[in-house]
């Protein structure tokens, strides 16, 4: 029992609730039944009819705490949006570097405060644009980057010391990070002034998003190298973005999303600690990425519980001393899989509520999805609307003026506690069964996600999970005319021409020598792969050169699908 | 009793979005069909060869990377050269309406997009196999 209660006052409150149930509630139920026998959150937490202070009686008040103070339940910073609202970071990427550069400049002109880059599938998977596997995919779902020259075009005229840049890329992340470093050095920038994030969260790829190249062990080593390189050379840069977003989009519950990121966190921290670094040398720059789904209070509770769990893990398990190593900072994106093709304009409303949950949950940066993303990648108009949604929350609703405004809600605090308890239960299960990597290899995480995903599909089918426009409020003769983002047919040719030009103009002997050095470094686990990769991209090596060379050393990964 | 419907489900190209195809695989399996799922990142060649070797009634290809207009022409060409142009081909994923129309012209029997209820998918495949008749 916490100090807000005496045994007597708690007893009194509980009996008051009982009397209410048997008097007012019972009488009302006789007249009108409730809509359902039992109510649950989207992620299957049972919820009560009402919550009272009695439901918080066992919560130590210091677990709720204050913003900017351990365990950071109420926010990572003491002033939060009263000082500066979250970074509005709409992701963009299509075509060549020049094409995406134009979109970046448009978004900046519309008031966007951070950049976020989507790469095309070949770049994400480590293929050059002229590889046979890239056919049809070049610049389609994101921007194509093969060489440093592409990166130069992508950020042309953008001051990288002034704006933070996020790059959504995983198995080939270290090569993009190397290009970013090489670009900054070429421009004479101070690496310690660069701020931004590279996703580089490979474990959730095996679990959910399924972009991988190499087997798990060397892939985790690459993440380790990104973290330790950045900790030494790029003081303001987030070298990993531990992501629940894709786990959720692959179909998991909010609880699974939350717990699996903590499982992945533990692996990365343990790997970096093995290099001899102390936890406080790198943990302050670990960053996170979560989805914001439709169940408003469940999402807020999830974010709050995650901050608390992270703080406890870092302090109690890893012995962090610096409070900055214990405060979880996260980027948030609204849930793309909730967007519908039917009545697509209502996606704006869905996205607005999801964005509100992210803000009430204390996100550090936010991407709101475009209303047309159930058709194709978003148009400029859809991105402007999505950005305006964030601006309305920031400027018109006043929710930014009070920190953690739902803190103290009996319901939200209670749900926050339940999340915390269950997250630690899942972590204990993972440990008892051989750890995260073993369970990935056994398909355990994948099966958990597939099961919840299947359950969700059945609930949508039965109508138990309503989706407006899809299984309820359907408009039979809907006219679905919409202008979608076009794919420019000359993209691949333009892109491949530049890659060929780089190959023709570079010093091939030097590149070959560096590729041999890369193999040496890769074969010696004690070395860091970043410096030689920076040298390689500076000399005009393509992503494909580097990736293919290492396939010969490490092999590739193929999963056994479970469903 | 008639033979169960045999289905090969495939992910072609580089995208890793397998949420939908796994739901389809499980729903069809639970409905009593024989389901083979190729896993991710397959080439059109690998998929068509597997479908022909496994002698399936239906080839289902899922794509969420927008490359449908590159992939399906290749699949039909390969089906033809492998003497399997009577195979039922179904597409799934996220794609714009104009592509759906084009794909149907090309010979795709049905395009089942996001949010299609599992039962509709089961019914569609059952109907397509019935319409084709015994082989």
Predicted local confidence at residue A89, as pLDDT:
93
Q: Which two tokens stand for residue A497?
A: 């021409």
Interface membership of B108 toward A (CB under 8 Å): no
Instruction: Round the CA-based radius of gyration of chain B to a whole number and report it.
Output: 13
> What pLDDT is recorded for position A479?
79
A558–B contact, CB cutoff 8 A: yes
- Residue A59 makes CB contacts below 8 A (sequence gap 6+) with A2, A413, A414, A417
**Does any CB of chain B come closer than 8 Å to the CB of residue A498?**
no
List the one residue out of B91, B31, B48 whose CA is nearest residue B66.
B91
Which A residues 456-475 touch B at CB under 8 Å?
457-458, 460-461, 467, 470-471
- Mean pLDDT within B21-32: 97
- What is the band of A144 on the pLDDT scale with cuts at 50, 70, 90? very high
B62/B68 Cα distance (integer angstroms): 9
Contacts of A134 in chain B (CB under 8 A): 14
**Sorting pLDDT into bands at 50, 70 and 90, what band is B65?**
confident
Closest partner CB to A140 (pick from B19, B67, B71): B67
- Which residues of chain B have a CB within 8 Å of the CB of A471? 117
Residue percentage of chain A with pLDDT more than 90: 95
Chain A contacts in chain B segment 43-82 (CB below 8 A): 43, 65-67, 69-71
Q: Are A329 and A76 in contact (CB under 8 A)?
A: yes
pLDDT at residue number A109: 94
Does B135 have pLDDT greater than 80? no
Task: Using pLDDT thresholds of 50, 70 and 90, give the confidence band for residue A467.
Answer: very high
Q: pTM of the entire structure?
A: 0.96
How many Å lie between the alpha carbon of B59 and the closest alpha carbon of chain A? 18
Decide: A301 and A420 in contact? Cβ < 8 Å: no
In which band, very low, low, confident or very high, does the pLDDT at A527 lie, cut at 50, 70 and 90?
A: very high
Minimum-distance CB partner of B97 among A251, A458, A480 = A480
pLDDT band at B123 (very low <50, low <70, confident <90, very high): very high
What lies within 8 Å, CB to CB, of A359 at 6+ separation is A81, A86, A366, A393, A394, A399, A400
* Contact A559/B at CB under 8 A: yes
- Beta carbons within 8 Å of A316's beta carbon, 6+ residues apart: none
Residues comprising chain B, all counted: 135
Bridge partners for A313 per DSSP: none
The reply to whether residue B114 touches residue A341, judged by beta carbons under 8 angstroms, is yes
A196 token code pair: 């931004």
Q: What is the ipTM of this complex?
A: 0.93
Strand A46-47, strand B6-11: pairing: unpaired
Taking CA A466 as the corner, what is the angle to CA A465 and CA A467, rounded to the nearest 5 degrees? 120
* Distances, alpha carbon A263 to alpha carbons A212, A258, A291, A320, A451, in Å: 19, 9, 17, 17, 19
Alpha-carbon distances of A296 from A213, A293, A334, A541, B130, rounded to whole Å: 36, 7, 12, 47, 46
Minimum Cα–Cα distance from A137: chain B residue? B67
User: Given a cut of 80, is residue A498 above it in pLDDT?
Assistant: yes
Q: First and final CA of chain B: distance in angstroms?
A: 16
For an interface test with B, give the residue of A136, A372, A448 to mutate (most B CBs within 10 A).
A136
Taking CB atoms and an 8 Å limit, are B114 and A374 in contact across chains?
yes
| Mean pLDDT along residues A343-366 | 98
In this complex, which of A127, A454, A558 lies closest to B39 when CB atoms are compared? Answer: A558
* Residue A89 tokens, joined: 């970071």
What's the whole-number mean pLDDT along residues B82-93? 95
Q: Are A359 and A86 in contact (CB under 8 A)?
A: yes
pLDDT in tens, A239-267: 999 999 999 999 999 999 999 999 999 99
Question: Which residues on chain A are in Cβ contact (under 8 Å) with B42?
Answer: none
In this prediction, residues A294-319 reach a mean pLDDT of: 98
Q: Does B31 touch chain A (CB under 8 A)?
A: no
Q: Is A250 part of the contact surface with chain B (CB cutoff 8 Å)?
A: yes
Per the structure block, which two tokens stand in for A398? Answer: 């006043």
Report the pLDDT averaged over residues A229-233.
97
C-alpha to C-alpha distance for A131 and A135, rounded to whole angstroms: 7
CATH architecture, domain B6-132: 3-Layer(aba) Sandwich (3.40)
Mean local confidence (pLDDT), A196-202 = 97
Whether chain A has a CB inside 8 Å of the CB on B100: the answer is no
What is the gyration radius of the CA atoms in chain A, in angstroms?
A: 24
What per-residue confidence (pLDDT) applies to B134?
A: 81
Q: Whole-number mean pLDDT of chain A? A: 96
pLDDT at residue number A484: 87
**CA A417 → CA A114, A262, A301, A329, A490, distances in Å?**
33, 16, 8, 19, 54
**B12, B19, B39, B73, best to mutate vs chain A, most A CBs in 10 Å:** B19
Read off the pLDDT band of A279 (50, 70, 90).
very high
pLDDT at A355 > cutoff 80: yes
- Tell me which chain B residue has its CA closest to the CA of residue A250: B19
Which of B40, B71, B115 is facing A136, going by the closest CB pair? B71
* CA gap A425, A419 in Å, rounded: 10
Q: What pLDDT score does A485 carry? A: 87
Confidence of residue B57 (pLDDT cuts 50, 70, 90): very high
pLDDT tens across A408-455, in order?
A: 999 999 999 999 999 999 999 999 999 999 999 999 999 999 999 999
pLDDT at B96: 85
Tell me: pLDDT of B1 over 70: no
- Could you tell me whether strands B6-11 and A365-367 are parallel, antiparallel, or unpaired per DSSP bridges? unpaired
Chain B residues whose beta carbon lies within 8 Å of the beta carbon of residue A453 = 19, 22-23
Please state the domain extents for chain B.
6-132
DSSP β-bridge partners for residue B60: B9, B90
Helices A530-538, A216-233: axis angle to 10 degrees equals 80
Interaxial angle between packed helices A97-109 and A380-396, expressed in degrees from 0 to 180 and rounded to the nearest 10: 30
What 3-state class would DSSP assign to A170? coil
| Cross-chain Cβ contact B25/A563 below 8 Å | yes
């Amino acid at each position: 029992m916490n100090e807000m209660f005496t045994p007597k006052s708690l007893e009194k409150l509980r009996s008051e609730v009982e009397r209410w149930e048997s008097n007012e509630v019972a009488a009302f139920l006789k007249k009108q039944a409730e809509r359902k026998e039992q109510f649950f959150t989207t992620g299957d937490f049972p919820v009560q009819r009402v919550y009272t202070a009695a439901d918080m009686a066992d919560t130590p008040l210091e677990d709720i705490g204050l913003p900017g103070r351990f365990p950071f339940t109420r926010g990572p910073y003491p002033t939060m949006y009263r000082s500066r609202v979250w970074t509005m970071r709409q992701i963009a990427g299509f075509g060549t570097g020049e094409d995406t550069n134009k979109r970046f400049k448009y978004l900046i002109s519309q008031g966007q405060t951070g950049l976020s880059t989507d790469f095309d599938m070949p770049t994400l998977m480590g293929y050059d644009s002229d590889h046979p596997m890239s056919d049809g995919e070049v610049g389609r779902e994101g921007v194509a980057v093969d060489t440093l020259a592409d990166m130069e075009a992508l950020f042309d005229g953008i001051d990288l010391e002034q704006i933070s840049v996020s790059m959504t890329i995983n198995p080939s992340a270290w090569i993009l990070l190397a290009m970013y470093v090489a670009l900054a050095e070429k421009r004479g920038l101070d690496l310690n002034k660069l701020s931004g994030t590279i996703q580089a969260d490979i474990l959730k790829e095996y679990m959910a998003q399924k972009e991988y190249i190499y087997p798990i062990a060397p892939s985790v080593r690459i993440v380790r190298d990104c973290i330790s390189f950045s900790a030494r050379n790029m003081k303001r840069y987030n070298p990993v973005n531990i992501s629940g977003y894709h786990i959720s989009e692959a179909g998991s519950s909010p609880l699974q999303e939350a717990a699996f990121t903590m499982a992945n966190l533990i692996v990365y921290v343990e790997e970096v600690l093995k290099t001899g670094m102390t936890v406080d040398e790198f943990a302050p720059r670990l960053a996170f990425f979560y989805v914001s789904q439709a169940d408003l209070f469940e999402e807020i509770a999830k974010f709050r519980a995650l901050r608390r769990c992270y703080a406890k893990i870092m302090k109690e398990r890893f012995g962090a001393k610096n409070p900055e190593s214990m405060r979880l900072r996260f980027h948030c994106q609204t849930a793309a899989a909730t967007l519908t093709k039917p009545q697509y304009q209502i996606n704006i409303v869905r996205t607005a509520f999801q964005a509100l949950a992210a803000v009430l949950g204390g996100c550090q940066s936010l991407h709101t999805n475009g209303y047309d993303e159930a058709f194709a990648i978003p148009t400029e108009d859809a991105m402007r609307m999505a950005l305006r949604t964030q601006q309305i929350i920031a400027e018109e609703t006043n929710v930014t003026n009070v920190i953690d405004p739902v803190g103290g809600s009996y319901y939200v605090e209670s749900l926050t506690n339940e999340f915390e308890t269950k997250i630690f239960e899942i972590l204990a299960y993972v440990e008892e069964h051989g750890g995260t990597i073993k369970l990935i290899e056994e398909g355990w995480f994948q099966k958990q996600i597939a099961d919840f995903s299947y359950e969700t599909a059945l609930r949508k089918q039965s109508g138990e999970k309503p989706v407006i426009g899809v299984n309820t409020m359907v408009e039979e003769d809907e006219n679905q005319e919409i202008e979608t983002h076009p794919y420019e047919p000359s993209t691949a040719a333009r892109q491949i021409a530049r890659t060929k030009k780089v190959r023709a103009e570079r010093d091939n002997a030097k590149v070959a020598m560096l590729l041999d050095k890369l193999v040496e470094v890769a074969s010696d686990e004690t070395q860091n792969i970043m410096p030689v990769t920076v040298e390689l991209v500076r000399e005009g090596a393509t992503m494909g050169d580097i990736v293919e060379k290492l396939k010969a050393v490490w092999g590739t990964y193929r999963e056994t699908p479970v469903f | 009793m008639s033979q169960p419907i045999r289905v090969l489900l495939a992910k072609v190209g580089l995208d890793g979005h397998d949420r939908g195809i796994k739901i389809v695989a499980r729903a069809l399996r639970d409905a009593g069909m024989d389901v083979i799922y190729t896993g991710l990142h397959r080439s059109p060649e690998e998929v068509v060869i597997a479908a022909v070797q496994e002698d399936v009634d239906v080839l289902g290809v899922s794509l969420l990377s927008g490359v449908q207009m590159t992939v399906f022409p290749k699949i039909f060409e390969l089906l033809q050269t492998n003497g399997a142009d009577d195979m039922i081909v179904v597409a799934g994923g996220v794609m714009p309406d104009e592509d759906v129309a084009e794909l149907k012209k090309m010979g795709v029997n049905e395009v089942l997009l996001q949010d299609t209820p599992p039962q509709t998918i089961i019914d569609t495949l059952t109907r397509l196999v019935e319409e084709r008749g015994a082989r």
